[in-house]
């Protein structure tokens, strides 16, 4: 789908986040479940790929490619499935999911299966995004909580992927140091980026992230960069990457929703 349509869908998805009010949907519904380090998201789309239900909870179930809370992850998935069933008035028996590149797909599929779902599709995260947006000669840069991952896409296929342990948590640490506050407070400040001048405090970390991305891209043909992941919610983040990497940088309207939408649209 086009970039404009993707951003419209991401905005609609964000607007209905955690809305349990019933809606009536005609035709097939596809479910995607994104098990992140910092959050779990269930997104349901209709036959056209339009979001019809979205549930997100901040919970750490996966860390560094390892499930740290298997039971907790299964419980969140079961809870979201029940909420989606209630909202959509259907029975949900299957879903798609994904996993960070370089880790084992079973990380996610085991959780879905234990939660009682059949897994229809499983694909690594940047490949899901690449297939939704039909990317070519692009770098998908996912800046999450703990890590920054780069996936280089050529003709819809991932030709390179790697990640490094620098992400949103490192920015939170810097904010905590700058304002001399606890991490929870620093995380709160981060969400009020303009008020607390977070972009300038985060700049050295983001420059480090762009060095990581530049090293990942070396030797590959890349025409544009697509940002994804929760850390890209920081307003103005794209300006730092444009300046450092000297390539067009696309920032989706709702960075947290891009991977879940891509997973749900896999069918």
Q: Which position among 32, 51, 126, 145 is part of the footprint of ligand ATP (CB under 6 A)? A: 145
Tell me if 229 contacts ligand ATP by CB under 6 A.
Answer: yes
Tell me if 32 contacts ligand ATP by CB under 6 A.
Answer: no
Closer CB to ligand ATP, 51 or 145, in the complex? 145
Closer CB to ligand ATP, 187 or 211, in the complex? 187
What's the rounded Cα separation, in Å, for the pair 102 and 197? 35
| CA 163 remoteness from chain centre | 14
Q: Which position among 38, 61, 88, 139 is part of the footprint of ligand ATP (CB under 6 A)? A: 38
36: helix, strand or coil: coil
Two structure tokens written together for 231: 């850390």
List the interface residues with ligand ATP, window 153-182 (CB under 6 A).
167-169
As to burial, measured by CB atoms within 10 angstroms (0-12 exposed, 13-18 middle, 19+ buried), residue 233 is middle
Two structure tokens written together for 95: 């879903």
- Assess contact for 20 and 86: CB atoms under 8 A: yes
| Contact window for ligand ATP (CB under 6 A) among 11-19, 36-44, 78-86, 132-140 | 36-44
Residue number with the shortest CB distance to ligand ATP?
Answer: 144
| DSSP bridge pairs for 97 | 33, 122
Q: Which position among 96, 98, 127, 147 is part of the footprint of ligand ATP (CB under 6 A)? A: 147
Look up tokens 């019933």; give the residue. 22
Q: Given the rule CB under 6 A, which residues bind ligand ATP?
A: 36-39, 100, 142, 144-147, 167-169, 187, 190-191, 229-231, 233-234, 256
């Amino acid at each position: 789908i086009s970039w404009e349509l993707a951003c419209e869908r991401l905005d609609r998805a964000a607007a209905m986040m955690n809305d349990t009010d019933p809606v009536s949907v005609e035709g097939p519904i596809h479910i995607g479940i994104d098990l992140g380090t910092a959050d779990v998201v269930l997104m349901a789309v209709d036959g056209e790929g339009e979001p019809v239900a979205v549930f997100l909870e901040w919970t750490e179930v996966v860390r560094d490619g390892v499930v740290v809370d298997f039971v907790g992850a299964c419980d969140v998935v079961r809870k979201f499935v029940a909420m989606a069933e209630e909202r959509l008035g259907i029975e949900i028996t299957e879903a798609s999911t994904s996993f960070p590149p370089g880790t084992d797909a079973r990380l996610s599929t085991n959780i879905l299966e234990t939660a009682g779902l059949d897994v229809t599709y499983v694909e690594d995260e940047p490949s899901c995004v690449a297939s939704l947006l039909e990317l070519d000669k692009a770098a998908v840069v996912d800046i999450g909580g703990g890590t920054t991952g780069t996936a280089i896409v050529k003709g819809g296929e991932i030709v390179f992927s790697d990640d490094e342990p620098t992400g949103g948590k490192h920015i939170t640490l810097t904010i905590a140091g700058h304002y001399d506050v606890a991490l929870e407070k620093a995380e709160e400040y981060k969400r009020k980026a303009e008020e607390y001048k977070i972009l300038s405090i985060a700049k050295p970390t983001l420059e480090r992230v762009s060095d990581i991305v530049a090293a990942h891209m070396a030797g590959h043909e890349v025409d544009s960069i697509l940002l994804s992941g929760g850390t890209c919610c920081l307003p103005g983040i794209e300006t730092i990457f444009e300046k450092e990497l000297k390539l067009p940088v696309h920032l989706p309207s709702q960075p947290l929703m891009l991977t879940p939408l891509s997973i749900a649209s896999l069918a």
